[in-house]
Every structure is written in structure tokens, then in C-alpha cells.
Amino acid sequence: MDSVPQSDRFQTVELTSLTAPAEHQMLDEKANGNTILYMQLTPEHSGKKIELVYDVERHEKNPYEEDSSPSKYLNASALMPVGDRFQILADSIIGAKRNDGTIMQARALYDYVTENVRYIKAGKYGTGDAVYACDAKSGNCTEFHSLFISLARSAGIPSRFAVGASIPSDRDEGGIDGYHCWAEFYAEGKWWPVDISEANKYSALATYYFGRHPANRIEFTRGRDLIVEPGPKSGPINFLAYPVMEEGNTAVFPKTFFSFQRKRTDETSDTLVMLP
């Protein structure tokens, strides 16, 4: 199974072609509004290519309103605990800012993660484990944002996780170096996008990434612990950036490649190809 990006107010996505060796169906992941491609493969499909091609137009993301209750985004997930050590740490970080409003509290948590976690792809990175991020103070984008979400939710600030890909802005075509993820928090009636790992890499843009996401990205899915039917035998999906495949009860990791080609007529519109 694999993610199928959806259109929203910040991105328009059209699935222009789908090449697959077997029949497929689109599953609804209702808790977060995701669509997931599902198919059953047999040994005769070994070595065959699955290709999804999208036409995407993306706009800069700013704080925005949404007609839904944010309260469910205060709950813990498997790798993003709430309370206990995270509440103690969040309280110590926010400190006197407790009376300064939710945005300032979130900014204190944002600054803490930006300044204290190192972007290092080593150890147990890439799972979005907030406990690991809190202990190791390192990881990739999943650790940065999982730690922020655990701290924010523990402080009573609704927060959520999303994953996708960043489109290189310095060229018009070619490969994309894996997935990227980010977060949003809820304050003053709006969802505020943040990208803490990018703020860590590019400190001069730390203020920009608190409340904005640039246009050069595409969102695949939202949420953690995704549940669909039929679903993996291993249980809920931690997050969906790459295809999830099982052979019996064993996880299989197909080679996955992302590429893009920018439309010459509109630099905010890209064609994205995903090859699991």
C-alpha cells in the first residue's frame, strides 16, 4: 500500500497515470482523511514496476482556519507520548510564557527543539520516536517534529504530523532525496505550520518556518498510527511516506524513487513521479 496525495486549499493534485501489475483499490483512512493505494501481489509480479504520476500545483502555506475540532490532536500516539516527562519538560520550557498566549508558548517549544536537537541520520532515527528524540537529542525531520508534538500536546496545544516531499528549488527536474515531514499546531482559531528541522538547518529562516511552509513541497499523508481495512498484519502504520509491503508476516522494503519535472509555464506547478 502507498499514499495517494489529496488536493486541499494549498495544493491541487491530479493523478495523471497509474501503472501497476495487479488490480488495485483506493482505501479511505478516515481518521486523518488520507487515501491509500492497496493491491495484492503474487510471485509473478516480482520485479514489476509500480508508477504513479501526479500533476501538482502547490502554494505557500500560512496559518489557516479549518472546520473541525482540534481536540483529538491532544491525544498520544504510539511513538508520541503525552504527559509525564514531556509535560514536565514542556512546563519548564514555557515557564513564564504561560501567560503570554498559545502562540508564544508554541514558539518557546519550537525554539527549544530547534536549538537542542541535532540533525543526524544515525542511531534509531527516522521512526518519529519522541522518547528517542528527547534522549538522544538527534534524528531527522521525524524526530524533530515528533518531539515538538509530544511537548505541545502535553502543554495543551493541539498539534499534528504530516509527511511528503520537498521539491528542489534550484533545478527544474530530477530525483528527490527521500521524504520530508513537518508539523502544525492550533492557536487562536487557526492551524500554524512549522518546519523545525529546516529551521535547525537554516537558522536565518527560523522565523519564516514558524507559521509558514514554502510552495516547493507536496503533502502525501497526515497523521500517525494510520488504520485502514485491509491493513498490514503488523498493525497501524506509523506514518506513510514510503510504500508498506508485507510477504506473509514479514515486512518487505521495495526500492522507491521520487522524481519531478517542473512545468515551464508555471513554476509553482510540478509533475511528481513516484516509483515504489
Q: What is the pTM of this model?
A: 0.95
Confidence of residue 268 (pLDDT cuts 50, 70, 90): very low
H helices of the chain, in order, are 85-94, 102-116, 130-136, 141-154, 196-201
Nearest to 213 by CA among 167, 269, 144: 167
pLDDT band at 269 (very low <50, low <70, confident <90, very high): low
Mean pLDDT for the stretch of residues 33-39: 97
What is the reported pLDDT for 126? 97
pLDDT recorded at residue 176? 95
Band (pLDDT 50/70/90 cuts) for residue 96 is confident
- Residue 117 pLDDT exceeds 70: yes
Query: How many other C-beta atoms can be found within 10 angstroms of the C-beta atom of residue 75?
Result: 11
| List of domains in the chain | 2-58+226-275 (no CATH), 70-221 (3.10.620.30)
Q: Are 191 and 269 in contact (CB under 8 A)?
A: no
Place 267 in a pLDDT band, splitting at 50, 70 and 90: very low
For range 97-115, the mean pLDDT: 96
Average the pLDDT over 83-103 and give the result. 95
pLDDT of residue 159: 98
For the stretch 190-221, pLDDT in tens is 999 999 999 999 999 999 999 999 999 999 99
pLDDT per position as a tens digit, 60-82 = 999 999 999 999 999 999 999 99
Mean residue pLDDT of the chain comes to: 94
Q: Specify the length of the chain in residues.
A: 276
* Identity of the amino acid at 211: G
| Spatial separation of the C-alpha atoms in residues 59 and 268, rounded to whole Å | 7
Residues 136-182 pLDDT 10s: 999 999 999 999 999 999 999 999 999 999 999 899 999 998 999 99
Q: What dihedral do alpha carbons 144, 140, 199, 201 form, nearest 10°? A: 150
Long-range contacts of 100-107 (CB under 8 A, 24+ apart): 101/187, 101/188, 102/157, 102/185, 102/186, 102/187, 102/188, 103/187, 103/188, 103/192, 105/155, 105/157, 106/152, 106/157, 106/185, 106/187, 106/192, 106/194, 107/210
Residue 272 has pLDDT above 70, yes or no: no
